[in-house]
Structure 1
Amino acid sequence: MKILNLSNHTLTDEQMLELQEKGYEVVELDQEDKKIWGQLTPHNYKEVTDRIFSKYNVDCFHTAGFPAGVNYAVDLARKLNKTSLYSYSVRNCTEKKQGGVVLKNYIFRHEGFFEY
């Protein structure tokens, strides 16, 4: 089965391993589509999502990004009887004072893929 990484992010090794264990072959958006997906607006998300769905022949979607675009993509996938997954990560933040500023460092730890 093929899963499209419909997100702004490169999957981590841990995420790739989990998807492979679930029997998925990961398909990435091409560079143009990745850029466009990362710049969705209230005015273009439907057109962009429709075009992407017609371009990539996959069984499943890892969907993340602009909320309206994600919602539309998940609904469209359901209409096509395809699955949409999201990746859940625990976010740990450490703060360090440096001079007059506070630096925050977020570490994301993948906890699994779940169905929308």
Structure 2
Amino acid sequence: MDPTLVAEVSRLHEAAWRDPAQWKLALGRAERLLREHLEAEPDCIDALTSLGAVLSDTGRHLEALAELRRAEGLGSTDANTYHNLAVAMMNTSERGKARGYFEKAARRQAGAGTLQAYFDPHGH
């Protein structure tokens, strides 16, 4: 992804966490930017991984799974792809598979251009 797009999506993601009043607006804008990028580059692993984080952070875990599985199927080696898959799985009927994906994430390096979905292990 273009560094300018990465910076803007990251800024929006951070703004959502910093100011709850901006949550819906900031994450909605981040989602739109990522989807627009994916229209031009549908196989962009970084965009799919970050979109999965945004979707999980907004509680849309089944949608997140679909996007993240695409990234995995395209051969992602990004730790955030696997972390985000695990987060989405923890919040769906695939919870039993999540541990293996958290372990895969721990063995990989996070990409500089991807987002990580929020996960509170004590909340589950």
Q: Give the shorter-chain TM-score range.
A: 0.3 to 0.5
Q: Which has the higher helix share?
A: 2
Larger fraction in strand:
1
Mark the structure with the bigger radius of gyration: 1
